[in-house]
Amino acid sequence: MDKHGNVFLLTTYNNILSKQNKNRGIAIKNYTVMVYSNQKNKLKEFDIQLKDKWVNGLNMSFNNEGDIVVGGFYNDSREGANSGTIYMTIDKDSIEIKSKSLNPFSAGFTNQLVYGRQQSKKIDLEDFHFDHFISDHDGSIYMTAEQHFVRTSSYFDQRTGVTNYTYYYHYNDIIVVKLDSKGKVMWTKKLAKKQVTSNDNGDYSGYIVTPNKNGISVFYNDNLKNFENNDSEEIRTMNNPQRSMTAMVNINKNGEITKKPLFNLEEQETIILPKIGKNLNRQQFILLTKKSRVFRFASVVLEH
């Protein structure tokens, strides 16, 4: 809602398209911007569509002129992986597109998405899911996505006739893209991360991102050994949240990355739940933490 009482909504729904010779369908998201004019008491709708491409994750904000800014990812094919970023500006009054840009991921960047030492094995961009859309004071935009998926193993006990299932929750690398106020990509970065836990719904995995005065900050639970040498290309897996440490990764406006623990080892008496948090402003946010069935709230104030 803006200061004039106008209401803006970005809605989505899924179309399930059956895949030939496969039992499950593919979810294709459809996005619509809905604007209620307080002065005119009218509702307008605008479908976001791309010719020969498919939208895969969007969010909405406002620029300094009050126009609607929409950004996210798109696919080149209906069943393909993320191909690049989409950015468009929609006039706040006419609800028509003022500008639109599509920015494909460069080959150089996608070649960075590899698993540790397995340089020949590329990460599947289909598993990257669009998460956050953060606007800055100068009209620039930060967009983030994370690779996550679930794998299942089963064991049949012949004595009892019971099948036991184990669910493995994988939360890996984070993509950060910064666009200028016109929708042009300024830089694209990868934050290397690997989290694998089982039968816990992935509650301690994932990440939270918040804006700060000089860019954005990203927080997640990490393996202790990953703090010993931040320059190492080998990433140790966080597979035991009870022995993890919360990482704080700062990315400034120029894409420069620094990483350090949020708490000292002696101070960390609880574990953050990264999927749950609330930004209060550009310097302070609230985290929910848990350890030994005890929940706590943590107020984090950023110094920079």
Domain assignment of residue 12, yes or no: yes
- How do the pLDDT tens digits run along the chain, 304 residues long? 877 888 889 888 766 554 443 433 344 578 888 888 888 898 988 888 888 888 888 898 888 888 899 999 888 877 667 888 999 998 888 888 898 889 888 877 776 665 444 444 445 566 788 899 998 888 899 999 999 999 999 999 899 999 999 999 999 999 999 999 888 999 999 999 999 999 999 999 999 999 988 999 999 999 999 998 766 668 899 999 999 999 999 999 999 999 999 887 667 778 999 988 888 887 788 988 888 888 888 888 887 6
Domain assignment of residue 99, yes or no: yes
Domain assignment of residue 227, yes or no: no
Q: Residue 207's pLDDT is what? A: 96
- How many structural domains compose the chain? 1
Distance CA 73, CA 85 (A): 4
Domain assignment of residue 2, yes or no: yes
Question: Which residue range(s) make up the domain with 4?
Answer: 1-104
**CA angle, corner 102, sides to 101 and 108, nearest 5?**
130
Q: Residue 119's pLDDT is what? A: 44
Q: Residue 25's pLDDT is what? A: 39
Question: At residue 109, what are phi and psi to the nearest 5 degrees?
Answer: -75, -45
Residue written as tokens 């995995």?
205
Alpha helices, DSSP H only, in the chain? 107-110
DSSP 225: G
Domain assignment of residue 242, yes or no: no
Domain assignment of residue 38, yes or no: yes
Distance CA 123, CA 98 (A): 35
Q: Residue 28's pLDDT is what? A: 57
Domain assignment of residue 134, yes or no: no
Domain assignment of residue 144, yes or no: no
Do residues 298 and 276 make contact, with C-beta atoms less than 8 angstroms apart? no
Q: Residue 112's pLDDT is what? A: 67
